[in-house]
Amino acid sequence: MRTLFNFLVKHNDWFLLLLLEGISLVLLVRFNNYQGATFFTSAGSIAGNVYSIFMDANRYFHLKKENDGLVAQNLALTRELSELKEQLTEYKNNEMLENSPIVEGISSGYNFLTATVINNSLNKVNNFITLNKGTDDGIRAEMGVFNSDGIVGVVYLASKSRALVIPLLNSKSSISCRVKGSDSFCSLSWDGGDPRYSTLIDLPRYAQFATGDTVVTSGFSSIFPGGLPVGTVEEIEDSADGMFYSVRVKLFTDFSRLTTVFLVGNDGQEEQEKLEKQVSKKGK
Amino acid sequence: MRNFLNRLKYFIILAALQTLLFGHIHLFGYATVYIYLLFILKMPRFATRNEQMMWAFALGLTVDIFGNTPGINAAAATMLAFMRNYILAMFISNGINEDLIPSTRVLRWGSYVSYAAICTLLFAFILFTLELFTFSMPLHLLLSVGSSTLLTLLFLIVFESFNGQSK
């Protein structure tokens, strides 16, 4: 007995080794066979908590990557947002157009579009306006452009996705107008200067009107339907040769604040122009 | 007591390094660095075998718990702790009787690296045998043991070279 005890004491390290290895192997075997042994795994409370703390810290090392991802996502969302906004403006514009008092009373045969001004100038002799839509959206040259206040100009050129407009503030612009209440028509042209004013030239002297009268489109050209507001009579002068009146018109349209504009096209415009050309040819 | 706390500090540092950093690295699908062997390698020469085994078992079990390998690291580490003094004795000449902590400062580089290499190889062999013992994949075992031993040894040498220069 004593010998055995001495043997055990002398070789206690061997027994500790066997004990510890035994525990290890039991754990190993139990883990493989017994699903409930979660304490000695990372699913246990101790290791689980340490891991969750570590993961919190670890996240900081991935911030750059995460940030890049967020930036990309942000970009995509911003793009989507601006697209949606554009669509919303379009809807609003269409609604505005339908409810617009200007459009009321215009005979059928005209079709309407909306567009947004993306470039504009006021201070040159020949100003131009650029619109965000083009032939793909149904815009073509010679369409009339107006907004909720009054007329703006005429489409000069249209590319696939953009259109160039000659506004009233351009020396090339010439719009057929008349003073409301009088039947005599004349043309509106601009000679530079103040962008709030334009001039009616060649107004016959027999026309009856006074300052403050409203000037509207005549409807004789194929561009604008008749009756669209242009401005008010501000000042009446004699023309240089004394045969006509020259009328200074205060424009309704504020060209410095153009955003949304409407376009009007005449379904029979080409036909009308063709006809007019033929007539003028025959006349020669 | 101070000795104990000091050792506990290294215990925690190495356990954290192993479980949170090195345990997640499996180079080429085979090689893992077992940096926590440093703890066992750096035990004082005259620490009792039981003491060494207890520490090694605790450390191995900690690594196991975090690595979801219950018993495997504990078994291998305990066995290494048991064998370590025999291995160390091979590299210490008979004339030296003082207590010492194995390092390149008290052993020659060659001796220390050999000591570390044998310890790591023994540990890796037990570890991967236990881990893979349900699979009969000798090639896989060989690759795992070999690559892990080499990689761990590399880290141990790097550690040793820094540690040697600092003092």
Low-confidence ranges of chain A (pLDDT < 70): 31-48, 58, 100-108, 267-270, 283-284
Mean pLDDT of B6-34: 84
Question: What distance separates the 2 farthest-apart alpha carbons in chain B?
Answer: 47
Q: Chain B: residue nearest A21 by CA?
A: B75
CB contact under 8 A, A17 and B67: no
Chain A residues whose C-beta sits inside 8 Å of any chain B C-beta:
12-13, 16-17, 20-21, 23-32, 37, 40-44, 46-47, 50-51, 54
E strand or H helix that includes residue A164: strand A163-167
Residue B127 and residue B131: Cα distance in Å, rounded? 6
Mean pLDDT of B15-41: 84
In a domain, A160, yes or no: yes
B54 inside 8 A of chain A by CB: yes
CATH of residue A169's domain is 2.40.10.350
B116 inside 8 A of chain A by CB: no
Q: Which two tokens stand for residue A211?
A: 């300052």
ipTM of the complex: 0.78
In this complex, which of A16, A31, A32 lies closest to B53 when CB atoms are compared? Answer: A16
- The count of structural domains within chain B is 1
DSSP 8-state class, residue B91: T
- The count of structural domains within chain A is 1
pLDDT tens-digit readout, B78-97? 999 999 888 888 888 777 77
Write out chain A residues lying below 8 Å of B70, CB-based: 27-28, 30-31, 37, 40-41
Mean pLDDT of B100-110: 81
What is the nearest CA distance from A81 to chain B, expressed in angstroms? 42
Q: Residue B166 has what pLDDT?
A: 43
Q: Residue A35 has what pLDDT?
A: 46
Q: Which of A264, A231, A284, A259 is nearest to A113 (CA)?
A: A264
CB contact under 8 A, B72 and A13: no
Mean pLDDT of B47-58: 89
User: Which residues span the domain enclosing A263?
Assistant: 109-267
CB contact under 8 A, A13 and B49: yes
Phi, psi of B100, rounded to the nearest 5 degrees? -155, 160
User: Which residues span the domain enclosing B43?
Assistant: 2-166
What is the nearest CA distance from A55 to chain B, expressed in angstroms? 9
CB contact under 8 A, B65 and A44: yes
